[in-house]
Amino acid sequence: MMLQTRLPLENIQQIFSWIDPRYARRYRELCQKVNQALEDDHFARLNLQRFINLTHLPHPMYHSDIQRKAAWEREFGITCEPQAVSEYPDQLDQFYFAFPSDYRRAYVQMKFTQITVMNWNRDVGWKYSQLKSPLLRWLELTPFHTLQVMHLHRLCLSGSIPPEIGQFYRLKSLVLDNNGLIGPIPAAIGNLINLSKLSLEENQLDGEIPVELMNLVNLVELCLQGNRLSGSIPSTIGKLTILEKLYMSRNLLNGAIPPEIALLRRLERLDLSMNELPGSIPPQLGRLFNLFDLDLGHNKLSGCIPPELGHLASLCSLDLSHNSLSGAIPDSFANLEELYKVDLSSNQFSGPIPQRVAHAFRNCGILNFRNNNFSGRLPAELWNCLELQSLELTGNDFDNYEIHSLLQYVGLQ
């Protein structure tokens, strides 16, 4: 065959390099010499060079892209060149997971070294999700000295989070959500001191929360929910003084809630639900004046609601359901006039619902007092809630006649 006997390897590579990289390797079976030419590492780079333009956008920059670019810059404080934003990756990005290793290496060297933001999800890799590529193998091909945002979610990445992740020292946002990652969170993540967002939710990570995470003093958002983490929340969490969102729900955490959480004065959302947290609710949480969402439901909490929670004037959602809490609703709850959702169900609360507190609930849409020991007359103010959509009262000792008459009054019976 002429290609095999006369053409140099370089010429064969030049010819076949004009074939789409997704299909070029299919021609290896033409003859032995073509196979040799196309298996060469140099060919992978030459082939990709024909189809990757690093100086222009891979698609027109629409209005939505401009908005997205501005959002990245605002949120993470970095400047993104248009071609650096891979929210909608090049068509070849979609085949990255199916490329052989030499193509991956060439692709990384040619393209990834010039971007600061990598945001890949299942929309990119769903066709190749069955590959279940180990995260370590992926990181070995990724340049650690350029990336500032690494979002790899719903890609079926497997294995543990390797300590090599600590080399990506420029990262400001790391999201590895909804993969199949297992094992402990490596202490090396504590080296990423520039992180403002760390999200590892919906994996199968286990072990204790490493204290080294508390070195990430620039964190604004920490998401660890939906794993198998155990042990206690480190008391050094108070070092994360600019944290605004803390999500640790749906784990196996079994230590008392550290009062040091009260040092997170910028905290807006705190979700520790669906764990095995014992003990009482720290009264220090009443110092989180910016908090508007507090969820401690489905734990093993006991004791009374600390009256200090009544200082959380910005609170919009409060969930203390499915614990072993007891006592009465504090009178200080009369200050919580911004509440929209209150769920105190499945506890051991007792006594009446104070009239002043019921009046403060006038903006509530969801009120759940089910399965407690509340008693006495039900305040008429509850029926005057302007946004009321759901009111659960079953499993208590309220005055039945009073409830009956109120139902007639509002025309519900």
What CA–CA distance (Å, rounded) separates 332 from 272?
23
Give, rounded to a whole angstrom, the gap between the first and last alpha carbons of the chain: 91
Q: Are residues 120 and 39 in the same domain?
A: no
Q: Where residue 75 falls among pLDDT bands split at 50, 70, 90?
A: low
Judge whether residue 123 has pLDDT over 60. no
Q: Are residues 37 and 75 in the same domain?
A: no
Q: Are residues 27 and 67 in the same domain?
A: no
Q: What local confidence, expressed as pLDDT, does residue 1 receive? A: 45
Asked whether residue 364 is assigned to any structural domain, the reply reads no
Q: What local confidence, expressed as pLDDT, does residue 98 receive? A: 66
Q: Is 70 exposed, middle or buried (0-12, 13-18, 19+ CB in 10 A)?
A: exposed
As given in the structure block, the two tokens for residue 214 are: 């508390």
Residue 185: left if φ>0, alpha if ψ -120 to 50, beta else—which one? beta
CATH number where 131 lies: 3.80.10
For residue 189, the 8-state DSSP code is G
Judge whether residue 144 has pLDDT over 70. no
Q: Is 175 exposed, middle or buried (0-12, 13-18, 19+ CB in 10 A)?
A: buried
**How large is the average pLDDT for residues 227-245?**
96
Residue, of 254 and 26, whose pLDDT is higher: 254
What CA–CA distance (Å, rounded) separates 327 from 349?
5
Element housing 49 (H / E): helix 41-49
Q: Are residues 129 and 205 in the same domain?
A: yes
What CA–CA distance (Å, rounded) separates 150 from 162?
15
Q: Are residues 210 and 68 in the same domain?
A: yes
As given in the structure block, the two tokens for residue 213 are: 């995470």
Q: What local confidence, expressed as pLDDT, does residue 111 receive? A: 64
Asked whether residue 31 is assigned to any structural domain, the reply reads yes
Q: What local confidence, expressed as pLDDT, does residue 114 receive? A: 59
* Nearest Cα residue to 126 out of 174, 179, 170: 179
DSSP-derived secondary structure for 223-257: E--SSEEEEPPPGGGGG-TT--EEE--SSEE-SPP
Low-confidence winner among 2-16, 115-129, 139-153, 326-340 (lowest mean pLDDT): 115-129
Half-sphere exposure of 118 (CA within 13 A, CB side): 24
What CA–CA distance (Å, rounded) separates 159 from 138?
11
Q: What percent of the chain has pLDDT over 90?
A: 49
Q: Where residue 56 falls among pLDDT bands split at 50, 70, 90?
A: very low
**How large is the average pLDDT for residues 116-140?**
57
Q: What local confidence, expressed as pLDDT, does residue 81 receive? A: 44
> 134 - beta bridge partners?
158
As given in the structure block, the two tokens for residue 376 are: 């006495």
What CA–CA distance (Å, rounded) separates 167 from 153?
20
What CA–CA distance (Å, rounded) separates 127 from 122?
8
Asked whether residue 186 is assigned to any structural domain, the reply reads yes
Q: What local confidence, expressed as pLDDT, does residue 200 receive? A: 96
Among 33-37, 127-131, 237-241, 360-364, the range with the most confident prediction by mean pLDDT is: 237-241
Q: Are residues 73 and 216 in the same domain?
A: yes
Asked whether residue 32 is assigned to any structural domain, the reply reads yes
Q: Where residue 135 falls among pLDDT bands split at 50, 70, 90?
A: low
Q: What percent of the chain has pLDDT over 70?
A: 75
Q: What local confidence, expressed as pLDDT, does residue 2 receive? A: 47
Q: Are residues 76 and 222 in the same domain?
A: yes
Low-confidence winner among 158-162, 200-204, 242-246 (lowest mean pLDDT): 158-162
Residue for token pair 């639900």: 273
What CA–CA distance (Å, rounded) separates 223 from 287?
22
Q: What local confidence, expressed as pLDDT, does residue 153 receive? A: 80
Question: Per residue in 211-230, pLDDT tens?
Answer: 999 999 999 999 999 999 99
Report how many domains make up the chain: 2
CA 76 from centroid of its chain's CA atoms: 16
What CA–CA distance (Å, rounded) separates 79 from 70?
9
pTM for the full predicted model: 0.79
Residue for token pair 């609930």: 361
Asked whether residue 135 is assigned to any structural domain, the reply reads yes
Q: Are residues 36 and 119 in the same domain?
A: no
Residue for token pair 């892209």: 65
Question: Per residue in 299-356, pLDDT tens?
Answer: 999 999 999 999 999 999 999 999 999 999 999 999 999 999 999 999 999 999 999 9
Supply the range of the domain harboring residue 12. Answer: 2-49
DSSP-derived secondary structure for 340-408: SEEE--SSEEEE---HHHHHHGGG-SEEE--SSEEEEPPPGGGGG-TT--EEE--SSEE-HHHHHHHHH
Half-sphere exposure of 287 (CA within 13 A, CB side): 11
Judge whether residue 89 has pLDDT over 60. no
Judge whether residue 61 has pLDDT over 50. no
* Nearest Cα residue to 181 out of 201, 162, 165, 204: 204
Given 231, 252, 270, the domain boundary residue is 231
Q: Is 74 exposed, middle or buried (0-12, 13-18, 19+ CB in 10 A)?
A: exposed
Asked whether residue 239 is assigned to any structural domain, the reply reads no
Asked whether residue 407 is assigned to any structural domain, the reply reads no
Q: With contact defined as beta carbons under 8 Å apart, do 343 and 369 qualify?
A: no
Asked whether residue 318 is assigned to any structural domain, the reply reads no
Q: Are residues 204 and 101 in the same domain?
A: yes
Q: Are residues 28 and 88 in the same domain?
A: no
Q: Are residues 176 and 102 in the same domain?
A: yes
What CA–CA distance (Å, rounded) separates 231 from 240?
19
For residue 87, the 8-state DSSP code is S
Geometric angle at alpha carbon 403, from 397 and 408, rounded to 5°:
165
Question: Per residue in 251-303, pLDDT tens?
Answer: 999 999 999 999 999 999 999 999 999 999 999 999 999 999 999 999 999 99
Q: Are residues 82 and 227 in the same domain?
A: yes
Given 210, 231, 252, the domain boundary residue is 231
Given 181, 199, 231, the domain boundary residue is 231
As given in the structure block, the two tokens for residue 166 are: 């600590």
Question: Per residue in 365-400, pLDDT tens?
Answer: 999 999 999 999 888 888 777 788 889 999 999 887
Task: Look up residue 258 and give its amino acid.
Answer: P
